Amino acid sequence: MFPAPTSTVETVDSVMLYIVAISVILLLGITVTMIYFVFKYNRKKGHEPQDIHGSILLETIWIAVPTVLVLSMFYFGYEGFKEMRMDSKDAFVIQVKAKMWAWDFRYDNGKNLDTLYVPVGRPIKLELQSLDVNHSLYIPAFRIKQDVIAGGKINTLFFTPELVGSYDIACAEFCGLNHSMMYTKVVVLSKDDFASWYEAKKDSSEVQNAGIVQ
């Protein structure tokens, strides 16, 4: 597998693969059986139709087997979700404020900008708040999102970036006119780069570029 930007990516992709694999088998099974029956029992062949009213055994099988399958899907989905929701005591906390149609990231030392900078390898916790209507912070490359709700409610989003780089942040909850333009970036910096960026009084364009170009 390719190295993934966070460990969540592999988890989500493998749950996806598991469900899709079972689904494709079921879909093909249903479709092929149906088409086979239409040819095999075609009226042109002149079979006498047989009234078969049902079968307790078959009903039991096609309730029991799917039950086991969906419960396994539920289980893997829930395990993956727990992993995403894992809070960490030494998480690096960043306050996020969303408004129509921009993002604002605020760090403990007062740094405040519209692009999210994070250090690689450290658990990150975003505390999300909206200043007007509902938004949703979505990082497709990390397979995570969390709604940003208007009012006092603070939602949290956790991730641990594992690859230096720059990734899209989108707004996923419809928020009006420029909803589709509410993009920004999350820039994952190496620990040293992040430390020097974090300590610098003004944003060093060098570091920013290092992050974006990767």
Partner 1 sequence: MANGAAAVAEKTFYEEGTSSRKGILGWLLSTDHKRIGLLYLGAVGSFFIVGVILGILMRLELIAPGKTIMEPQTYNAVFTLHGVIMIFLFIIPGIPAVFGNFFLPLQLGAKDVAFPRLNLLSWYIYIIGAILVLISLVLPGGPLDTGWTFYIPYSVRTGANVSLAIFAAFVLGFSSILTGLNFITTVHRMRAPGMGFFKMPLFVWATYATAWIQVIATPIIGITILLVILERVFGVGIFDPALGGDPILYQHLFWIYSHPAVYIMILPAMGVVSEIIPTFARRTIFGYKAIAISSLAIAFVGYLVWAHHMFVSGLSDTSAMIFSLLTFIVALPSGVKIFNWVATMYKGSIDPKPPFIWVMVFIFLFSIGGLTGLVLGSLATDVHLHDTYFVVAHFHYVMFGGTGTIFFAALFYWYPKMFGKMYSIKWANIAAALFFVAFNALYFPKFIMGYMGMPRRYYDYLPEFADLQLISTIGSWLMGITMIIIFWNLIHALLKGPKSKENPWGGVTLEWHTSSPPPLENFHVIPTVTHEPYDFSQLKEMKNYESD
Stretch 103-162 residues interacting with partner 1 (CB under 8 A): 132-134, 136, 138, 140-141, 143-147, 149-153, 155
Under 8 Å CB-to-CB from 77, ≥6 apart: which residues? 15
Segment 41-60, which members bind partner 1 (CB under 8 A)?
A: 41-43, 47-55, 58-59
Bridge partners of residue 137, in order along the sequence: 146, 171
Distance CA 112, CA 98 (A): 13
Q: Is position 168 an interface residue for partner 1 (rule: CB under 8 A)?
A: yes
Kindly state the smallest distance separating residue 194's Cβ from partner 1, in Å: 25
Judged by beta carbon, residue 177 or residue 213, the one nearer partner 1 is 177
Q: Is position 191 an interface residue for partner 1 (rule: CB under 8 A)?
A: no
Residue 175's φ and ψ, nearest 5 degrees, are -135, 25
Kindly state the smallest distance separating residue 104's Cβ from partner 1, in Å: 18
Q: Among 141, 148, 177, 182, which residue's Cα sits nearest to residue 162?
A: 141
Q: Is position 195 an interface residue for partner 1 (rule: CB under 8 A)?
A: no
Q: Among 81, 163, 82, 156, which residue's Cα sits nearest to residue 121?
A: 163
Q: Is position 178 an interface residue for partner 1 (rule: CB under 8 A)?
A: yes
